[in-house]
Structure 1
């Protein structure tokens, strides 16, 4: 589990394809000693399992993780190339502060960025998701986009908007996001369960 609070921005060092799997090697400033083999790290919102870890060169640490066919089909990972910057978050520990909302790291789809308006104190992004997932998006509710926990500002059909403050733009990859980009979307797990319960009649 994660919270959607980005704690580092990694650099994608290499992408190695073998069969239907891609091995990603990412440079980070996380301490290598604190990353166990098999640990989960959210990479742009995608929960990946660490398969190797060691000292880095320009950054403190390099770690590798495999992206399976399902991940490559649903998320933006299939398009990643070396040099890409990636929002990172370590898995939540018992007793950690839940600063965002409960995030599983299981991406639902790619959301399209359709608008970006830089308003001075905030930046407004408008996203579009498929209708079957738009029903999980509510005003004042939470969504996870490229690993960041964001609050929904408005909803219009399959489109919704979020406002980002300068701090978020500065410490994540969001400063470079533009219309036409795709980002990883995860619906709020509470909204998902609420919608599922509503499908059953009371009796």
Structure 2
């Protein structure tokens, strides 16, 4: 599990084809890996990967064809920036929200508009994902925990403060770029409970009030 609080912006060193999939090598840009062991999880732009090699300034992870096809990792090139977060420990602060590192699908940057010193970003997402995104709820974009400002159809907006833009890979994103989207797991559990008929207290009025219907 992760929190969606980015700890460093790394860089892709190389992508090595291996038996039909890829080994991804990442320069961690000073992220302390002293407490990371082989087999530990590291989120790369929101995708949970397993460290299979460790170096003083980086690590490598094997990326399956499934992950390459369903996330932005399949589009990476050497030198591209990636958001990095080590796995959550039980004693850590939960500064964002609970993030699994299991990307639900791809979104696309629709617009970037200045708003004071901040920026208003809007994203387009497939219908299969937009149903889980609610105003004032949480969403994970490229591994970054963000609060949803508004939702309109298959488009939603967030606010990025200067710190977030400067200390994540958002500084390199442009309109039209693809991003990894992970919806809040609570929304998925609510849908599951209501669909199974095991939660009669969660009626339609409740779901509408909280943006799930």
TM-score (structure 2 length as normaliser): 0.90
Match of 1:9 in 2: 9
TM superposition outliers: structure 1 runs of 4+ over 4 Å? none
SS in 2 for 1:194: helix
Q: CA deviation at 1:175?
A: 1.7
Match of 2:206 in 1: none
After the TM superposition, which residues 96-107 of structure 1 pair with which residues of structure 2 at under 5 Å, given as runs?
96-107=92-103
Match of 1:169 in 2: 165
Structure 2 gap segments, 5+ residues each: 201-213
Q: CA deviation at 1:30?
A: 2.4
Of residues 160, 164, 169, the one that matches 2:156 is 160
CA RMSD of aligned residues (A): 1.1
The count of residues paired between Structure 1 and Structure 2 equals 198
Is 2:72 the partner of 1:76? yes
Structure 1 gap segments, 5+ residues each: 56-60
Q: CA deviation at 1:118?
A: 1.6
SS in 1 for 2:88: coil
Match of 1:45 in 2: 46
TM-score (structure 1 length as normaliser): 0.94
SS in 2 for 1:30: coil
SS in 1 for 2:48: strand
Q: CA deviation at 1:111?
A: 0.5
Distance 1:177 1:25 in 2: 21
After the TM superposition, which residues 43-192 of structure 1 pair with which residues of structure 2 at under 5 Å, given as runs?
43-55=44-56, 61-192=57-188
Distance 2:123 2:191 in 1: 21
Match of 2:208 in 1: none
SS in 1 for 2:193: helix
Q: CA deviation at 1:114?
A: 0.8
Match of 1:58 in 2: none
